[in-house]
Amino acid sequence: MNIHFRKLTKPNNTLVKMLNNWENDPTLIPLIRPNQNKSELDCRNKLTLDDLTKRLENHQIYLIYLDDRLVGEMNYMVDPGHLIKKETGSAWIAITIGEAEGRGKGIGYVAIQYLEKQIQKQGLKRIELGVFEFNKNAVKLYQKLGYKEIGRIENFTFWQGKKWADIRMEKYVDKRQEGVYK
C-alpha cells in the first residue's frame, strides 16, 4: 500500500467531478458538512471549476492517493473567522477520504501527519478542527494524534433524526508555543 500526497495547484474538470461525487455521496454528507435539517441533508451541491480555483485563494489543498488512485483530499486555511479560539498563526484543517477503498486503512492518520508537517513548514503554531460528535472514529483518530477538545457547539448539525454537536479540537505543532495562550 503506497500512500502519497500532491499539492493542488491547477484544478481540472476531472478533479471537480470527483469532488462533486464525494460532496454529494449520501454516506459522506453527514460527515463532511453541517446540515441544519433533513432538507439540507438531502440537498446536493454543485462545485464548479471556478469555485475550486477560487477556493485555492484561501485554502492549501492536498490530494490523497492510494497507489495511483485518488481517494481523498485534505486542506487547511490560516486564521479563518470560524475558529473557536482566535489565535493568530492557527490553521483550520479538514480531511475527506472520499473513496470507500481508502477508509479504514490508516490513510487518514498518515494524511493528517503529512498536513501537520506542511502547516509547521509555513510557520504556524496551532491547528484547530471541528468533528461532529457522532463521528466516533474521527474523534478517536484526532485524540490518537494528540488533539484535545477545547469546546463544543451544540445543535450544530442534523443527522439520524436529531441535532449533534460540533466538537472543536486543537493541537500545537510548535511545542514551544503550547500553553502560552491558555
- pTM (2 d.p.): 0.91
Q: Residue 74: its pLDDT value, please?
A: 97
Average pLDDT score, the chain: 93
Q: Residue 174: its pLDDT value, please?
A: 76
Per-residue pLDDT tens digits for 44-67: 989 999 999 999 999 999 999 999
Q: Does residue 181 register a pLDDT over 90?
A: no
Q: Does residue 1 register a pLDDT over 90?
A: no
Per-residue pLDDT tens digits for 3-52: 999 999 999 999 999 999 999 998 898 989 999 998 988 989 899 999 99
CATH of region 3-129, choose from 3.40.630.30, 3.40.640.10, 3.40.50.2300, 3.40.50.1010: 3.40.630.30
Burial of 152 (0-12, 13-18, 19+ CB in 10 A): middle
Nearest to 166 by CA among 45, 35, 37: 35
Looking at 24-106, list the stretches that DSSP marks H as alpha helix, in order from N- to C-terminal side: 29-32, 38-42, 49-55
Domain boundary assignment for the chain: 3-129
Per-residue pLDDT tens digits for 118-143: 999 999 999 999 999 999 999 999 99
The cell numbers describing 157, all together, are: 448539525
